[in-house]
């Protein structure tokens, strides 16, 4: 609750928060290291129940060590150092069981400035989750570097050759080389777009600009584009229901979702690629399926992760970010997506999106 005093200043009422409500692990000790409180998150992260910890010393129940094996609590030395010291930077530590945690501490002093240490509050975070995130980012950088190297090498090679020996080539040879440069430039542009999408999805900054979207019309346009690019027309089949609701969606993102799913079906599947659009109770459902080998049930949970490339596919390619982006775009619309075995034996990706309105609150 908030109120305003006679001067118009905002006054906040005191609020008590239970330590078990905190998302991070929390351990509270006195100045000498005797544990006085442990929350549920800390017990889960360390595997040490509150009942076993309270009343015992930190070095007995939480013997944190750094990577060189040094005792963290001893190095912490709450009574030592400057009286103005109030925080200890976060660092990776481990317990005897081997689990790595990111640990930081704060000294609670009385009085607050330059007083004696009364309590030490210690915050714990899962080091494994942080390590997985860092590995994921490292993998992303590695993938990007690998995917960029080939087209940029091609662009540089062909342009340098044309500039140096322009008069030695026929018009047909020049056209072929320039077409290759153009295609490789498009490939670089697509990769950069994917990276921006991944960044926005992971940071929660993906914006949805809604307008009325005719899903069957977008699917027909996509198919026409693929046929114009050289795919056989008989490879595609569109099925659309008769009574579809009015859909307020982001047209560009819907095009991207459909395009990525169709590209995945063409790249990793076989036979006819079927797009089926039907009405569901709260919106519309779109299925994209092929007649290939399908996806093994044990692989289904991995499909929407970054860098998945269709493990058993004979034809691999791309960055492995397409389906991850699809999932993020669908969820930004308030929808869901899943993969299953298609009736024809291939893979079927089915996503649902709500009807929405122009001012629909995107999660």
Tell me, what's the pLDDT at 319? 65
In a domain, 5, yes or no: no
Domain stop point among 111, 128, 145 = 128
Average pLDDT on 119-126 reads: 92
State the residue range of the domain holding 83: 25-128
In a domain, 4, yes or no: no
In a domain, 262, yes or no: yes
Query: How many structural domains is the chain composed of?
Result: 3
For residue 169, give the CATH number of its domain. 1.10.287.130
Q: Measured between alpha carbons, how far is 349 from 262 in angstroms, rounded to an integer?
A: 10
Model confidence at 316: pLDDT above 90: no
Q: Residue 31: what are its φ and ψ, rounded to 5°?
A: -65, -20
- Considering the domain architecture, whether residues 223 and 304 belong to the same structural domain is answered as yes
Tell me, what's the pLDDT at 7? 45
Model confidence at 353: pLDDT above 60: yes
Average pLDDT on 345-362 reads: 78
The segment with the largest mean pLDDT, out of 8-22, 110-124, 314-328, is 110-124
- Considering the domain architecture, whether residues 273 and 218 belong to the same structural domain is answered as yes
Model confidence at 243: pLDDT above 60: yes
pTM of the model: 0.59
Domain stop point among 168, 203, 238 = 203
In a domain, 105, yes or no: yes
Q: Cβ distance 215 to 340 under 8 Å?
A: no
What DSSP line would sit under 6-20, residue for residue?
TT--EEEPP----GG
- Considering the domain architecture, whether residues 290 and 253 belong to the same structural domain is answered as yes
Tell me, what's the pLDDT at 36? 94
For residue 238, give the CATH number of its domain. 3.30.565.10
Q: Residue 110: what are its φ and ψ, rounded to 5°?
A: -130, 115
Instruction: Give the pLDDT band (50/70/90) at residue 145.
Output: confident
User: If residue 30 lies in a helix (H) or strand (E), which one and from where to where?
Assistant: strand 25-30
Q: Is 210 helix (H, G, I), strand (E, B) or coil?
A: coil
- Considering the domain architecture, whether residues 33 and 96 belong to the same structural domain is answered as yes
Average pLDDT on 87-114 reads: 87
Q: Measured between alpha carbons, how far is 60 from 52 in angstroms, rounded to an integer?
A: 10
Choose between 293 and 212: higher pLDDT.
Answer: 212
- Considering the domain architecture, whether residues 246 and 341 belong to the same structural domain is answered as yes
Specify the range with the lowest mean pLDDT, choosing from 77-91, 221-235, 326-340. Answer: 77-91
Strands (E) in the chain, as ranges, are 2-4, 10-12, 25-30, 35-38, 87-94, 100-110, 116-126, 211-213, 236-240, 247-249, 273-280, 283-289, 336-341, 347-354
Instruction: Give the pLDDT band (50/70/90) at residue 312.
Output: very low
Q: Measured between alpha carbons, how far is 1 from 22 in angstroms, rounded to an integer?
A: 20
């Amino acid at each position: 609750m908030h109120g305003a005093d006679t001067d118009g200043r905002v006054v906040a009422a005191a609020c008590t928060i239970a330590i078990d409500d905190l998302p991070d692990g929390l351990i509270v000790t006195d100045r000498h290291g005797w544990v006085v409180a442990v929350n549920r998150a800390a017990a889960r992260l360390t595997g040490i129940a509150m009942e076993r910890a309270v009343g015992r010393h930190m070095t007995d129940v939480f013997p944190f060590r750094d990577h060189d094996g040094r005792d963290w609590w001893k190095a912490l030395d709450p009574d030592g150092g400057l009286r103005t010291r109030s925080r200890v930077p976060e660092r990776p530590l481990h317990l005897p069981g081997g689990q790595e945690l990111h640990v930081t501490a704060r000294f609670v002093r009385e009085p607050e400035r330059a007083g004696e240490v009364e309590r030490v509050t210690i915050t714990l975070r899962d080091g494994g989750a942080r390590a997985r995130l860092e590995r994921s980012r490292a993998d992303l950088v590695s993938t990007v570097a690998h995917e960029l190297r080939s087209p940029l090498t091609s662009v540089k090679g062909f342009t340098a050759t044309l500039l140096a020996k322009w008069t030695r080539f026929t018009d047909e040879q020049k056209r072929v080389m320039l077409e290759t440069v153009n295609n490789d430039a498009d490939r670089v542009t697509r990769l950069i777009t994917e990276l921006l999408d991944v960044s926005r999805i992971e940071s929660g900054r993906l914006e949805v600009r809604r307008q009325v979207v005719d899903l069957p019309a977008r699917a027909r346009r996509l198919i026409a584009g693929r046929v114009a690019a050289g795919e056989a027309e008989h490879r595609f089949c569109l099925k659309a229901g008769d009574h579809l609701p009015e859909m307020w969606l982001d047209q560009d993102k819907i095009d991207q979702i459909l395009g990525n799913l169709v590209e995945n079906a063409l790249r990793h599947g076989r036979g006819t690629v079927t797009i089926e659009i039907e009405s569901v109770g709260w919106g519309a459902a779109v299925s994209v399926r092929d007649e290939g080998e399908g996806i093994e049930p044990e692989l289904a949970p991995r499909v929407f992760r970054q860098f998945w490339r269709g493990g058993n596919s004979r034809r691999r390619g791309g960055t492995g970010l397409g389906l991850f982006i699809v999932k993020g775009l669908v969820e930004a619309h308030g929808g869901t997506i899943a993969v299953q075995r298609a009736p024809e034996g291939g893979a079927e990706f089915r996503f649902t999106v709500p009807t929405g309105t122009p001012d629909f609150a995107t999660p």
